[in-house]
Amino acid sequence: MHGLVFRSFESFILNSYGQTTWIQVADKAGIPRQGLQSLAEYDDELALDILDAASETLGRPGSDILEDLGTFLVSNPTTEALRRLLRFGGASFAEFLQSLDELPDRARLAVSDLVLPQLELRDNTPGSFNLTCYWDHPGPGHVLVGMLRTMADDYGALVLLEYVGADNGKETISIKLLDQEFTQGRDFHLAV
């Protein structure tokens, strides 16, 4: 797994719970306290170790932590770049949803060795979608739920999100788009 993913997690723990917690997590997972390198590649197993360490330290299930990570990634000022990059996906939340299957390719345009889970969006009925996420281990689905919830707020859309479950290397999220323009949403300009 790419170092950027690990750096994101570190940044999330540091920002949300502070240095002391991060040091506990790092020590428990057996990684350097100053974190891993953002431009290196690490074993997927290590990600699971770090998540377990965080879960134990915080006394919260891993799935909750991952969902918070997703929220953090698109709402925290330190990761504003990521939120902006996602907003380039479309002018409305519906367009943004349709752009999600391009996400891994978009990520690779920026960082050529960054491999993200493959995503597949399926329209069920108008305003109702199923998003499938393919990865060797369950987890990215929960991050996505956090991200989508926050991106919906960002666009000002009212949505119902549900983590349906994980099955054999794929996770499914059900998305119900109730109102595209529920609120004003956050400002987004193409150029900063």
Partner 1 sequence: MAKTNIIDLSAQALDCLMPMHLQISPTGHILHAGPTVQKLRPEGGLVGARLLEVFHLRSPRSVQTMDDLRDCVGKRLKLQFREAPKTGLKGALVMSDGDGVMVLNLSFGISLVEAIREYDLHAADFAATDLSVELLYLMEAKSAAMNESHKLNRHLQAAKIAAEEQAFTDTLTGLKNRRALSHIMDRLLTEQRAFGLMQLDLDFFKLVNDQLGHSAGDHVLQRTAAIMVEHTRQDTVLVRIGGDEFVLLFPDLRDARQLLMIAERLIAALEEPIPFGSVNCEISASIGASVVQAGCFEQASDLLEQVDQALYASKRAGRGCATLYEADKFSGDPATIELRSHEMRRVRPGYSAAAETDMQSKSSSA
Contacts with partner 1 by CB under 8 A: the residue count is 20
Alpha-helix residue ranges (DSSP H) falling in the chain: 3-17, 19-29, 44-58, 62-75, 80-87, 93-99, 103-110, 140-155
Backbone conformation region of residue 169, classed left if phi is above 0, alpha if psi is from -120 to 50, else beta: left
CA–CA–CA angle 78, 43, 20 (5° rounding): 45
Q: Is position 106 an interface residue for partner 1 (rule: CB under 8 A)?
A: yes
Residues contacting 110, CB < 8 A, separation 6+:
85
Q: Least distance in Å: CB of 94 to partner 1?
A: 13
Q: Which is nearer to partner 1, 41 or 136 (CB)?
A: 41
Per DSSP, 41 falls in state: B
x/- binding map, residues 84-103, to partner 1, per CB under 8 A? xx--x-xx------------
| Pairing relationship of beta strands 158-167 and 128-134 according to DSSP bridges | unpaired
Q: Between 182 and 188, name the residue whose CB sits nearer to partner 1.
A: 188
Applying CB under 8 A, which of residues 23, 111, 115, 158 lies at the interface with partner 1? 111
Site for partner 1 in 12-71 (CB under 8 A): 34, 37-39
Binding site for partner 1 (CB under 8 A): 4, 7, 34, 37-39, 81-82, 84-85, 88, 90-91, 106, 109-111, 189-191
